[in-house]
């Protein structure tokens, strides 16, 4: 089990957004989460991705207890040590792809993909080699020196996917990854996710409103009012 979350609760003021969510994902699975706006999908994704802390519940990712039911785990406490431990874990074990690609405009495609590897302490040579390999995997071997402004929307999202994979994450989380793309490009990115699963054994969790993408996934879970239905 790559992800095992139990009893995840999260409130903002008096609004209870997540009401005791359980969620498990096996290695190599592609799972989609659907639901209306406000159902709690993005809040859950942020907790699973360690960007947010639950009020209650436990989360184990790739054998590491991130949040423990007894208040233990690498994310325990709100101090700097806990934040630093979470950030370090996130950088090495989790990849993110968002609706907007968030590439740095002054850097080339290759440099954008290299940055997380350099932050994680890899040498420039090692980071470059991995970035070149992944840009090849996503079909952009010939676009490594192009900056984001010189790339199409689909190409920029492929760079963002390569960047998310550069540290070999246990899980790739994608939040509306094709929401800004035209129909043809959407299909290409959808296919890419499953190619990456087949070639790399990548585990992927996708939050989407797109029924076509959800239909391709191994499992689709639907959220309503802070719970799976």
Q: Where are the domains of the chain?
A: 3-228
Rounded to 10 deg, the angle between the 109-119 and 153-165 helix axes is 20
Which of the two residues, 28 and 177, has the higher pLDDT score? 28
64-78, 115-129, 131-145, 173-187: least confidently modelled range? 64-78
Q: pLDDT band at 71, cuts 50/70/90?
A: low
pLDDT at residue 207 greater than cutoff 90: yes
Q: What is the DSSP letter of 118?
A: H
Residue 29: which residues within 8 A CB-CB, separation 6 or more?
A: 2, 203, 204, 218, 219
Instruction: Please write the tens of the pLDDT for every residue from 151-198.
Output: 998 999 999 999 999 999 999 999 988 877 788 888 888 888 999 899
**Cα–Cα distance, 41 to 111 (Å, whole number):** 31
Q: Give pLDDT, residue 82.
A: 67
Q: Residue count of the chain, please give it.
A: 229
Of 40-54, 74-88, 132-146, give the lowest mean pLDDT range: 74-88
Q: What pLDDT was estimated at residue 149?
A: 95
- Residue 81 pLDDT more than 70? no
Is residue 102's pLDDT more than 90?
no
| Res 178: pLDDT | 81
Q: How confident is the model at residue 222 (pLDDT cuts 50, 70, 90)?
A: very high
Contacts of 228 by beta carbon, 8 Å cutoff, 6+ apart: 21, 22, 23, 221, 222
d(CA 23, CA 7): 9
Task: Return the pLDDT at 37.
Answer: 85
Find out if CATH 3.40.50.300 is the number for domain 3-228: yes
For the segment 108-113, the average pLDDT, to the nearest whole number, is 97
| Overall average pLDDT of the 116-141 stretch | 94
């Amino acid at each position: 089990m790559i992800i095992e979350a139990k009893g995840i609760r999260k409130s903002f003021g008096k609004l209870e957004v997540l009401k005791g969510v359980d969620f498990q994902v096996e290695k190599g699975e592609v799972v989609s989460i659907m639901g209306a706006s406000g159902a709690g999908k993005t809040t859950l994704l942020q907790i699973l991705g360690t960007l947010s802390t639950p009020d209650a519940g436990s989360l184990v990712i790739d054998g590491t207890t991130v949040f423990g039911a007894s208040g233990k785990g690498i994310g325990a406490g709100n101090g700097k040590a806990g934040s630093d431990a979470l950030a370090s874990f996130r950088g090495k074990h989790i990849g993110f792809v968002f609706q907007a690609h968030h590439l740095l405009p002054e850097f080339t495609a290759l440099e954008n993909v290299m940055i997380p590897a350099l932050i994680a302490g890899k040498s420039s040579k090692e980071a470059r080699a991995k970035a070149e390999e992944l840009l090849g995997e996503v079909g952009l071997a010939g676009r490594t020196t192009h900056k984001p402004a010189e790339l199409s929307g689909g190409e920029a999202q492929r760079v963002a996917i390569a960047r998310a994979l550069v540290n070999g994450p246990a899980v790739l989380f994608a939040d509306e990854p094709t929401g800004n793309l035209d129909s043809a490009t959407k299909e290409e990115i959808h296919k890419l996710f499953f190619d990456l699963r087949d070639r790399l054994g990548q585990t992927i969790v996708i939050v989407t409103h797109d029924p076509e993408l959800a239909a391709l996934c191994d499992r689709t879970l639907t959220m309503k009012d802070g719970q799976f239905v």
